[in-house]
Each structure stands twice: as C-alpha cells, then as structure tokens.
Structure 1
Amino acid sequence: MAKLCLLLRLWLAGVLLGLCASAPAAADDQVAVSYAPDCHAVTDRDRSATAMQPRAQWTCNAGNWRSDVPVVWLRFEAESWKGEEMPRHFFTRIARFKSITFHALDADGGRRTARLTEADGNPLAAGPVFRLPLPEITAETTVLLARIEEPHSVPMLTEARITHDSAKADWSQADMMLLAFVMGMLVLPFLFDISFYVVLRERFVVLHAAMVASMMVYVMTAGGLASAFVALPVAVMAVLAPLSYALAAGLTGLFLADFLERGAQSRLMRRLTVATAWFTMIAPGFFALQLDRTQPVDDRGYFLTFLPFIFVVSAAVLEAVWRGSRSARYLAVAWTPIIIASIERLMRGLGWHVGPSSLDQMIYIAVGIEVVVISLAIADRFLALRRERDAALTEARMLEQISTRDSLTGLMNRRAIEARFDELLAQGFNTFALVDLDRFKAINDLHGHQVGDAALIACASAIRASGDRDAIAVRLGGEEFVVLLRGERTLERAEALRQAVPIRIAKEVPGLDLPVTASMGVVVMADAARKTMAFAEFYARADALMYEAKASGRNRMAYERLTVFTAAPAARNPEREQAA
C-alpha cells in the first residue's frame, strides 16, 4: 500500500511538472489571430517569386498537398489580415526542411525577402511548432509568398500559419494540460515496470518499460513539451518524434510476442509478429531520420511502412483472442484507440485529408490509455505467473518429498541420506546405527503384509518419537533403518532407541504371537571432521556388526569405534563390544 501511494504521488508530480511546462501558454488569455495560406503550389528549384505571382498556377483548395517535391510555395493574401495588425511571424509543425524564403510583395512592385534555414527555427515552449520571423509586412503589401525547399512533411505545409504575436503561435493551455496529464499517465506504468521486474524477471516487463520510455520521448518531442525544459534544434526535434514512435511500435510487437501466454499464437504468427516488429524499427526508423537524399520519399515511406505493422499486430491480437488468451483481451482494449488514431495520423501525413494539429491529441490520449491498460495487463499476468510459480514450487516440493521420503513411514530414504551424508558427517553426526527387525519375514508370512507394514510404521515411530534433536532416522528399505547421531553418549542413546522398538510395536500392532525385537550394528568415528569413509563403507561395517548381533542371539547391539589418523598407526585393532 505504501508503494502504491508513493507511485501515485510520483504520478501527480509528473502531471504538475507538465503543467509547469504549459504555464507559458497561460500568460495571456487572448485568442491568437493567425492566417492560413490561401493557396499552394509545387515547382522545381528554378521557379522565381516573380513567376509565381499569377494565381492561375496555384491550387486554392485543401487538396493535392505534397512533400515529395523540390519546392512547395505557400501564398498568403493581404485580404486575410486587412484591418488587423500586420503579421510578423511564420509558424508551423516541426519538421525538417532545407530552407524557407519569404517574399513580401507590395502593390508598387516593392519586395522584401528573407531566406532562413532549420538552424534559424525557434521551437516554441509549448506545442510541436517552431517560428521564423517574416520580412516587414506593410499596408502596401498585397501578398506574402513562402518558398519551402525540400520539405519532409505534409503537415508542416498544411499547418503553416502567419501571425502578429509570436507568443500566441503555440498550443493552448488546455492542450498542454492534456499533454502533462498523458506524461503523468506514462510515468506511473514506467515505475510499475521497474517494480515488477524486481520481483518478476520476465523479458516482457523490460520490453514494456522500453516501449513506455519511447512513448515518453514521443510525447515530449511530438507534443513540444520538451522545449519547456531544454532548447533543442528543430532538426533534432523533427527526428526524435517519428523515430521514437517507430521504436515504440517495434517494441510493441516484440512485447506482444513475448507477453502472450503459451499457445496464444501460432508459430507462424509469432515469427511474423517478431519480423514485423524489427522491420518497423528499421524501415520507418530509417525514414524518420529525414536525410537529404531521401527527402522525395521519406514522408510517404515513413507512413506506408507502418501499414504492415498495423495489419500484423491487429491479426495477431485477434488470433490470440480467438484462441482464448486473457492477455490478448487487454491488448485489444489497449491498442484499438491507438491503431485508430495512428491510421488518422497516417492519412493526414500522406495528405489524404487535411485537419488541424489538435487532432494529434487523439494519439496522445490513445498512448496514455494504451500504457495504462497494458500495465493492468502486466499486473494481471504477474499475478497469474506468481500463481503458476507457486503451484510449480509446491509441486516441486512435493516431488522432492516423494523422491527423498519413504512413502510408508515418512522417514528420509536412502537416496536422501546418501546425498547429504558428507554434509551431515561434517556437522558431527559421527555415529552410524543400522537397525534391523528380527524375524520380520515371519510376521509377513503369518499375519500378512498389512500387519508387517504396521510393524514398520511403529518401528519408525519409536525411532522418531525419542525427541532427540541430534538424531536423524532413515529407512533404507525392507525392515532396515539407519539412525545417525551426534553429541555425547551416542551409544547409550542408540541402545535406548533400539529397546523402544519392541515396546512401540507391541503397543500399536496387537495380535502378534511373539514380541518383535530389533538388532543393531553401530559404527562410531572418533573424529568426523577427518572423514575418509563414504556412506557405503559405513553401511558395510554396520551391516557386518548387525549380523554379528543377530548371530549372537538377536535383540542386541554390536558396535565398534573407529579413529582416523593423519598418519597410519603402527598397529591398532578396533575395539568391539557387544551389549545385550
């Protein structure tokens, strides 16, 4: 709960940070007066401003916009601002271009010209726009021509405006508040991803974090919010926005392939999704660089190379939903708005329809919805994986218990004790006592295996019920048991365990004709820290001693003490004793 509160505070901090960035837009509540071009035209590089004065060669409607040409001309008629303040600034969407030359033509033939480049562009503190100063516009000016050489974006042309107040050329306060809110929505999932990855080391969490980070860069640059914090050149802003969007799209495809449950995608669709994701990062990413040599094709190439991504991702999600994927349902909800907004932006970018820059708010809102819903999907997947892992751990523990525990008595089995024998010997368990029930076969023959099993369970209970914390009981198989002991008086304690066996069997297994006794062979090593013997050697010695006890009349213990020397002694016989 504390972590959730902290994350909510950070989200609010992100929103407030964005609001601070939008503050310049709130300095003046007056509505900016700006003028759109009345006409536009495309030409080669040799056409002069004088040759462009006749209106017959201009397109004076909202169609036929192109950015794949050497030069685009924009025409602003003086009738637009007649009676208003003279325009002094040109502004438009941030995009790459080689130069913009302004020609202010007067009625008496006078002309004022200004040629500006990308380096002269000044990104505004709010909004994805930059401005350039115009040559002097006077009452005698009849038309303003803007010659844009090698434009890389159709929206840069369709959204071009002139205004008298450069402070009013940016986005409104409401627009920037929306951007700030979206940034806050992006910060929170990014922090969630970091928290999730600490607990759940899954690759799809890293992919989603990278995707969110790319979206944050996109919102900051495409939305112009970055200009409130750092002065970036127009060329850098123009490249970062489309490049970060291409990277985010490609990471989305990789995330999709890695995030869906096993079996939610066919092998072919998964391979196609991954291939399309890499293609989207490479192809649109290349066109996003807006190189001089690719100017005729990069705007159209950028948007058209997104089409495979839209089709493949949509098909992949639909297939996963059809296969019953729970995660795919989240993705369908998350990606439907952003796919619709991306298609609208693609159509506007290709010049298929003209709309105001405020339509970009659709994609920003869709981005915010997408990352939040996917964060919920990750949280849901996180819980599902935790449940799966918990179930797997439980099953593993059960399997481990099955493989290391005797199913009848619940004691450790031979496999378990052999695996840990060296460790236990080093911990001081230096007494190896082998217990064998006397005449056990006769019990099975006379009373049946069910009674025999009951006798084995009672024997295990007698060994285990001693309460000796320094004793470990093991069933080797059949009627053989091993008890490892450490500490003082191990021989006396082993003998006490042996004597407890017939008492416990007589108490818990009624109807036996004779008492069931036990024989024991015990090996004691004087210094376990200098161990040179393996489990098999201890067992062989204890087994020989146990048969000595049986040969001596059963129901007794035989033992020997072993001393390990760093150098072999001249002559030493192990001390052997028998105790009735």
Structure 2
Amino acid sequence: MGTDRVFPATRLAGRRTASWAAVFAALAALFLAVAAQASPAGEAFAPGSTCFASTGPAVGYARIADTPDAWNCEALERTAGDARAFVRIDLGTNRTNVDYVKLRRQRFSELRVIAVGQDGSLAQNRIDPDGLITGRHLWDAYAPIPRTNAPPRTIIVEMDDPSAASRLGSAQVVAGEPFTRIAGIDHVLAALLCGLLIAPVFFDLAFARTLRAPFPLYHAAFCVLALIQTATASGLVDLLTSLPMAVQHALVILSFDLMMAVTALFTLAFVERGVIEPWQRRMLAGMAPLAAGLGLLAVFGFPVFGPNVGYVYYGGYLLYLAGIIVVLATGLRRGSRALGFLIISYAPLLLIGASRVFVSLFDSMNVPTESVWPQNLALGFQVVVTAFAVADRFMILKRERDTARTEARALEDLSERDWLTGLLNRRGIEKRFADLRTQGYTTLAIIDLDHFKLVNDRYGHAVGDEVLQLVADVLRADDVDTLAFRMGGEEFLLMLGGPNAAKIAEMRRRAISESVAAAGIAAHTVTASMGLVEAPLDALPDAGFEALYHHADRLLYEAKATGRNRTMSEKLSAFRPRRGDRRRAA
C-alpha cells in the first residue's frame, strides 16, 4: 500500500527534471551556434593564450592554424621525435607594441617568426641559427617580429629540427631593444666570481711543485674550466669578444663536461689510499672519459642522434651521478677526511645536476635547465671549499713528507759519515763532488799515513784509532776553503779551493806529525804522504771524481815510492786554441 503511494510522486519529479534538462540543453546549443557565427575559425583560441604544437616536416602553420585540436594550450608535451615545433602567442587587443620573441637557445635548422595582424594580414621572418640576437646570458636569444599592416594580434614561432622543442615553452614577446651591450650588475658579479675562480690556480701550481702530486693540478684545471664556464654562460665572453655563438655554445658545454671529467680525476687522486674499493677507483677513472665523451656528443652528436641526443647525454650523467654518490657514501661511511671536504663542496652542484637530469629525463621538460646563476654560485662554492681541502691535504702531506725526509736524511747522513772520525766518507764525497767543483773546490789531495800498520802492531788498535781521530781533527781545521773526508783505513782526502790550495794542503800534511807528537799518543813518529792535483774549472769543466781521484792516487804512489813523508803534485790544464787560429790537422 505504502509503495503504491510513492510511485506517482516519483514519476512526476522525474518528468519535471527531464523538462528542465531539455530547456538547458536547448539554450546551450543556441549559445554555441551564435558564438560560432560571431567568431571566425581563426579565433578559436582564448585571448592572451600561449599554445604549442608539433608536426612532421611537411606540415606548416597554415595547415594547423584553424585546427584547435592540433594545439595544446596548457602544457608543452615531449616532442623529441617531431621535426617541426610551433608556439602560438595570442596578444589580444590590448598589447600591440611588441618587437621581439625571447627564446631559450637551442639547435635548429631554420626558424620562422610569423605575425598575424588584426586585419588578417601576415608577415614572416626567416632566421638561421646565426641570425638570432644574443641576450644578456648565453641561453637567451631574441628573434625580431615582422611588421604587419595592422597591429599584430598573434605571433607564431615555427622551428625546424629543434634539438629541445620543449624550450619553446619559455617563449615570450618583448618590446624595445632586447639587450644593450653594456655591462650590467650581473656581468660585474660574474667578473668578480671569475677572479675568485682563478685565484686558487697559483696556489695549486705551487702545491703541485712541492708535493709532486697530481690532485693540485686537477684542481687548477677545474678552476680554469669553471672560469670559462662562468664567463661564457653569464655573457661576459659575448660582451667582451666577437666569438661566434656556435663557438660560445660549444665552450659552455665542453667546459662543463670537462669539469666533470676533472672532478672524477681529482676525487681519484685526492682520496686517501684504502678508503674506497679498487673497483670504485677503476670506476672513477672510467667516469672521466665518460664525461668528456658526453660533452663531445652534446656538441657534435646532434646530426647523428637528432633531438634524442639529450636523452643519451642525460642518461650518461645519470650513471655519472650514481658513481659519484657511491664513492662519496663509501668515504663518509669510512670516515675519510678528504671525502668529507668533497661531500660539502660537491653538494650544491650535485643537487643542480640531479634536478637537471630528472627534469630532462622524467619530467615534461617545461622547466628550463640552464640555470646560470645557481650553477655559477655552486661552482664558486665548490672551488672555495676544495681549495681549503687542497690546502689542508697539502699541510698533512707536507708534514708527513717532512718527517719522512728528516728520517731519511738522518739515515743517509749515517751512511755517508765515518763512525770513528765523524768525517764524510767516500760515498759522501762522490755525491757532493760536482757541486763542490762548481763552488770552487778545484784541488783534490789524497793523504795516506806512512807505515801506519806499525802503529797498530806496536801500540794496539785503540791507539791507532786515537791517531786517526787526531789526524781527522787536524785536517778539518776551521777553514771554509778546505773540506776533509776519510776514504777508509789510514787514507784521507782533501777538497780545497782558493789560490793557496796547494800550500794549505801541505801545511795540513806537515801538521799531522807535529800534532801526533804533541799529543804523546805514541813514541813512534807518524808521517804522511800526499798526492795533489789541481784541476781549474775553466780548464777542465767536466772533470769527474774518479778521473781526478785516480790522478791524485798515482801522484801519491810516486810520493811513497820516492821515500814517503812528501808531496807530489801536478796542475792540470787543457789545450785551448787561440782565436783566429785556423790551422788544420795533417
């Protein structure tokens, strides 16, 4: 019973609802029909809208101008495989004073800027890649808008073979001159940053010369490349030089990729031994040619890979970032002081690089990836922090090297000194002989004690050792022009300089007998024989130790053979022909 009462009311409500829906549908259809009659087909775009399209190489703007479905007015989608890209900017009726289209620079074969006047007139400019006007920064470029009979209503940019069609998403129209070649505040800041980047190079070169290590040189190379990158990307190079834009574009790409290659080599050379695994060291070594190869690909690979070169490029850097992060994480886990510095210094640039890779590979690519100033500041931060890291490592290595050098010198000094007399031995004279000759020690004398075996046999070796020590004291008397050495046994050697070298050597030989007798060590009279050779540097500049030693030893033998307790000497000279003497040998 209750149900029967409800049904009629329900049916009545449904009929009323249907009637109202029909009325609204009829009104909507009438509105659309009137709008369609009042608006031409070419005005199917909202005033002030910016729309995008991409087609094959044979489809021009005329074929899609009146096809709203071919346009996307919300977001620019990936168009990597399309040969022609369009951006349509509707000016409306309020803005008619436009002169240029501002674009993000990319590669293309031809660019056409089409202006549609409010009266329907068309005008077009054809522009090749070198015809764009450079903006304040390298990535900014301007294309002139052609003049129409009536004020412009719509501006269309048609680009053939774009390397990154998504960059058209940042297109906008501007009025007035796009860029005056006068340094602005951004150029001044870029110049100051370039000065900051070049300063560490001089310290790096000094560190490399002292440490004989490669990492300061890698840091210096990074600073120079960062300088090129900053000066080019910020517009300083274009402001100060007349380099073609293609060259500047190649410079900014290659300088960045070579920086990444040098970063891998710097990390490899800078990290302490044993901190990272051997396979990680090999990975770092391989990342350097990877980054350099990606740079060459970005500059020269477009004709081969077309627009897809960007995916290859950023895919390679995805591997690079993964490798760097693995190495830094390993160093952080193992408490590496060196990699601690690198983590801090690399962080800003790694974040910028990761965002750029993500946007380029996984986003719709509407966001411009050429962030000039964030990258410049990240480079400056990395250079400053790594400069502190290099200085810190320099102090550590220098301290370790100085300690090792001191220990080595101590051991070397022990090996070059006679333990009994404290004089330098034969090894000591051989090592220093060339330097001593250049310092003026040009006289060599060998002194040998006569019948010294009798002293040992009669008084014992202890007395013999005392005699040898006394002889050493006599020979090394305080005289800067005389140096004494013990060659072994009872044989000593003198290196003398000055005009009275032979006379001084003879006085030292005679003083031996007097000093031993005055000391009362042995009743036996101790005498010495000497062979002396003078070899002036101007006469015999290349005389070696062995040659002069053997010459003096022969003279000593003659002194012994003629009765001992005497000196045999000789002054060597070389034949030098007089100037103008042109006599020939027979």
Distance 2:357 2:165 in 1: 11
Q: Kindly indicate whether residue 77 of structure 2 is the aligned counterpart of residue 64 of structure 1.
A: yes
Please state whether the residue corresponding to 2:114 is helix, strand or coil.
Answer: strand
Assess if the C-alpha contact under 8 Å between 2:85 and 2:158 holds in 1: yes
Q: CA deviation at 1:297?
A: 1.5
Name which of structure 1's ranges 299-308 and 537-546 shifts more when overlaid on structure 2: 537-546
Which residue pairs with 1:501 in the alignment? 516
Which residue pairs with 2:125 in the alignment? 114
TM-score (structure 2 length as normaliser) = 0.73
In 2 relative to 1, CA 152–536 (structure 1 residues): closer, same or farther, beyond 3 Å? same
Q: Kindly indicate whether residue 257 of structure 2 is the aligned counterpart of residue 250 of structure 1.
A: no
Name which of structure 1's ranges 123-132 and 89-98 shifts more when overlaid on structure 2: 123-132
Name which of structure 1's ranges 434-443 and 259-268 shifts more when overlaid on structure 2: 434-443
Which residue pairs with 2:409 in the alignment? 397
Aligned match for 1:158, one of 144, 158, 169: 169
Distance 1:315 1:453 in 2: 70
1:378 is matched by which residue type in structure 2?
V
Distance 1:174 1:226 in 2: 15
Q: Kindly indicate whether residue 141 of structure 2 is the aligned counterpart of residue 130 of structure 1.
A: yes
Distance 2:520 2:170 in 1: 96
Q: How many residues align?
A: 509
Aligned match for 1:523, one of 505, 530, 535: 530
In 2 relative to 1, CA 68–363 (structure 1 residues): closer, same or farther, beyond 3 Å? farther
Residue correspondence of structure 1 range 397-546 to structure 2 within 5 A: 397-417=409-429, 427-430=442-445, 432-434=447-449, 436=452, 439-440=455-456, 455=466, 458-459=469-470, 462-464=473-475, 466-467=477-478, 471-477=482-488, 480-482=490-492, 484=494, 486-488=501-503, 490-491=505-506, 493-501=508-516, 503-504=518-519, 515=522, 519-525=526-532, 535=549
Distance 1:538 1:39 in 2: 100
RMSD over aligned CA atoms reads 4.2
In 2 relative to 1, CA 492–231 (structure 1 residues): closer, same or farther, beyond 3 Å? closer
Which residue pairs with 1:558 in the alignment? 565
In 2 relative to 1, CA 469–296 (structure 1 residues): closer, same or farther, beyond 3 Å? closer
Assess if the C-alpha contact under 8 Å between 1:95 and 1:234 holds in 2: no
Which residue pairs with 1:223 in the alignment? 234
Q: CA deviation at 1:249?
A: 1.4
Which residue pairs with 1:38 in the alignment? 50
Q: CA deviation at 1:122?
A: 0.9
In 2 relative to 1, CA 169–72 (structure 1 residues): closer, same or farther, beyond 3 Å? farther
Residue correspondence of structure 1 range 66-465 to structure 2 within 5 A: 66-79=79-92, 82-106=93-117, 109-126=120-137, 128-136=139-147, 141-154=152-165, 156-167=167-178, 175-194=186-205, 196=207, 202-289=213-300, 291-322=302-333, 324-350=335-361, 352=363, 354-355=366-367, 359-417=371-429, 427-430=442-445, 432-434=447-449, 436=452, 439-440=455-456, 455=466, 458-459=469-470, 462-464=473-475
Q: CA deviation at 1:490?
A: 4.5
Distance 1:272 1:296 in 2: 29
In 2 relative to 1, CA 63–169 (structure 1 residues): closer, same or farther, beyond 3 Å? farther
1:326 is matched by which residue type in structure 2?
R
1:370 is matched by which residue type in structure 2?
Q
1:251 is matched by which residue type in structure 2?
V
1:119 is matched by which residue type in structure 2?
D
Assess if the C-alpha contact under 8 Å between 1:103 and 1:146 holds in 2: yes
List per-residue Cα deviations over 1:137-173 (Å, max 9, x = no partner): 6777553322111111356323221122343799995
1:501 is matched by which residue type in structure 2?
V
Name which of structure 1's ranges 107-116 and 399-408 shifts more when overlaid on structure 2: 107-116
In 2 relative to 1, CA 518–406 (structure 1 residues): closer, same or farther, beyond 3 Å? farther
In 2 relative to 1, CA 168–525 (structure 1 residues): closer, same or farther, beyond 3 Å? closer
1:58 is matched by which residue type in structure 2?
W
Q: CA deviation at 1:343?
A: 1.6
In 2 relative to 1, CA 330–505 (structure 1 residues): closer, same or farther, beyond 3 Å? farther
Which residue pairs with 1:448 in the alignment? none
Distance 2:547 2:191 in 1: 73
Assess if the C-alpha contact under 8 Å between 1:186 and 1:371 holds in 2: yes
In 2 relative to 1, CA 191–473 (structure 1 residues): closer, same or farther, beyond 3 Å? closer
Please state whether the residue corresponding to 2:503 is helix, strand or coil.
Answer: coil
Distance 1:169 1:40 in 2: 30
List per-residue Cα deviations over 1:530-565 (Å, max 9, x = no partner): 99987478669869988999xxxxxxx733646699
Name which of structure 1's ranges 306-315 and 187-196 shifts more when overlaid on structure 2: 187-196
Distance 1:341 1:526 in 2: 75
In 2 relative to 1, CA 69–210 (structure 1 residues): closer, same or farther, beyond 3 Å? farther
List per-residue Cα deviations over 1:346-372 (Å, max 9, x = no partner): 334447153367843221110111122
Task: For structure 2, list consecutive stretches of 5 or more residues without a partner in the other structure.
Answer: 1-46, 574-586
Q: CA deviation at 1:240?
A: 2.7
Structure with bigger RCO (C-alpha 8 Å, 6+ apart):
1
In 2 relative to 1, CA 237–558 (structure 1 residues): closer, same or farther, beyond 3 Å? closer
Distance 2:135 2:448 in 1: 87
Q: CA deviation at 1:47?
A: 1.9
2:103 is matched by which residue type in structure 1?
T
Assess if the C-alpha contact under 8 Å between 1:89 and 1:162 holds in 2: yes
Which residue pairs with 2:12 in the alignment? none
Which residue pairs with 1:569 in the alignment? none
Q: CA deviation at 1:117?
A: 1.8
Assess if the C-alpha contact under 8 Å between 1:434 and 1:481 holds in 2: yes
Distance 1:283 1:474 in 2: 64
2:566 is matched by which residue type in structure 1?
Y
TM-score (structure 1 length as normaliser) = 0.74
